[in-house]
Amino acid sequence: MADQLKTPGLDNGFQAAHADLLLSSFAKVTGRPLLDGADAEALYRAPFPVLSHSTDADPILTYGNLAAQDLWEMGWDQLIAMPSRLTAEPAHRGQRDAMFAEMRAKGFISNYAGVRISASGKRFEILNAVIWPLLGPDGRKLGEAATFKDYVFL
């Protein structure tokens, strides 16, 4: 039951179109799959966080799988309404901005580390994060995404 409260809706196939964008963009820019044999539900239930945000001037989160929701301690509706800058404390937002600038210059990065904060104030450092652009079929940038398997609570 708690899992159902966190899902982006079974009726939309676990955000199937956006999940396909996440998976295809990751493979396109890195040359490897984000998750072997993945579909939208597998990505949503992956044991590691996957997040994305919009291309707005102050980007809003557009996706956060269950692992991301658990780590940031918020459900789907709360997560996707949040400006992505709020995933980090004010003191760490400059480093976060520099990381995105580096990713935009290089195409993607795969070794990012940075401090983040959950809804309840728990601080954690993400390690070896991969940050990549979300690219439509025409190559147009539709957002940016991040995933990581390693993190430590501070």
CATH number for the segment(s) 2-153: 3.30.450.20
Q: Tell me the pTM.
A: 0.90
- Residues 47, 38: Cα–Cα separation, whole Å: 12
- Residues 149, 61: Cα–Cα separation, whole Å: 19
Is it the case that residue 68 has pLDDT exceeding 80?
A: yes
Please, what is the average pLDDT of the chain?
90
Q: Band of the pLDDT at 12, cuts 50, 70, 90?
A: low
Provide the residue ranges of all domains of the chain, joining segments of one domain with +.
Answer: 2-153
